[in-house]
Amino acid sequence: MQIFIDSADVREIREAASMGVIDGCTTNPSLVAKVGRKLEELIPEICSIVDGPVSAEVLSTDVDGMVAEGRILAKIHKNVVVKIPLIGEGLKAVRIFTAEGIKTNVTLCFSPMQALLAAKAGATYISPFVGRLDDIQYDGMELIEQLVTIYENYGFNTQILVASVRGPMHLVQSALIGAHCSTVPFSVIGQLLKHPLTDAGLEKFLADAKKMKA
C-alpha cells in the first residue's frame, strides 16, 4: 500500500520524505491556510521534495471554475493531481480532466455509491473519509471494504486513497482490506514507528554496549 502524507507543511513533508516512507502528498485548503502560503508557490516546492502524486484542490464549485483552476494547477508540475469535491459539478470536471489526461483525486467521499459514480466519471483516486465517518458512529473501515469489493467486481482503475486517518489502526486495517493507498498526517507517521518493545530493546542494547566498552 502506498502512503501519502496529508500536509502542507514543507518541514513535515521533507522530514517524512527523508525517511523514504512516503509515496505522495495530499493537501487541502485548510492545510494550506494553516501554513499561510499561496498554493501556487507551495505546490512546486512540495513537488521538488516528493517524487509522486501531489494533490492540489480547486476552490470553485461550478464545472467551469473547477476546470479553469485545475488546468492551471496541472501545469505546475507533472505530478500534480487535481483534487475535486464529490458533487455533480465536480464529476463533470473529472470527466473533462480525464479526457485531457489530467489526473484527479475526488474528495469528501462518504458512501459506496458516491465512489461508484466517481469511478464511472474516470477519477484517478477516490478519497473516502474514514475518520469523519467514525465520528458519527459509522464504521469508516466498512466503507473501505465495500469500495474494494465494488471496484474489483467491475474492474475500475480508480485507486482507493483512504483519508481522514486518525491513527495507526486505520492504516493497518486499510492495508489488510487491500486499499491502494492512504494519506496520513505527519503525527500518525510518527506513531507508526513507535512500539514499546522497540524502545525497550534499544535501551537494553545501548546499556549492554556501554558494558562492552568498559
> What DSSP character marks residue 195?
-
Residue type, 10: V
Between 206 and 163, the higher pLDDT residue: 163
Q: How is residue 138 written as a grid cell?
A: 459509522
Neighbouring CB atoms inside 10 A of 202's CB total 10
User: 209 - beta bridge partners?
Assistant: none
Query: Under a CB-based contact definition with an 8 Å cutoff, are residues 210 and 189 in contact?
Result: no
Active site positions, annotated: 83
Which helix (DSSP H) or strand (DSSP E) does residue 80 occupy?
A: strand 80-85
Higher pLDDT, 28 or 202: 28
Tell me the angle at which helices 186-193 and 168-177 cross, rounded to the nearest 10 degrees.
80
Confidence of residue 210 (pLDDT cuts 50, 70, 90): confident
Domain range for 129: 2-213
Asked if residue 10 lies in contact with residue 28, where contact means CB atoms within 8 angstroms, the answer is: no
* Residue-averaged pLDDT of the chain: 95
The pLDDT tens digits of the residues spanning 93-123 come to: 999 999 999 999 999 999 999 999 999 999 9
Q: What is the 3-state secondary structure (H, E, C) of 63-92?
A: HHHHHHHHHHHHCCCCCEEEEEECCHHHHH
Q: What is the pTM of this model?
A: 0.93
Residues 6+ apart with CB under 8 A from 205: none
* Structure confidence at residue 123 (pLDDT): 98
Q: What is the CATH number of the domain that holds 24?
A: 3.20.20.70
pLDDT given at position 16? 96
Matching residue, cell 482490506: 177
- Domain count of the fold of the chain: 1
Cα separation, 188 vs 14, whole angstroms: 15
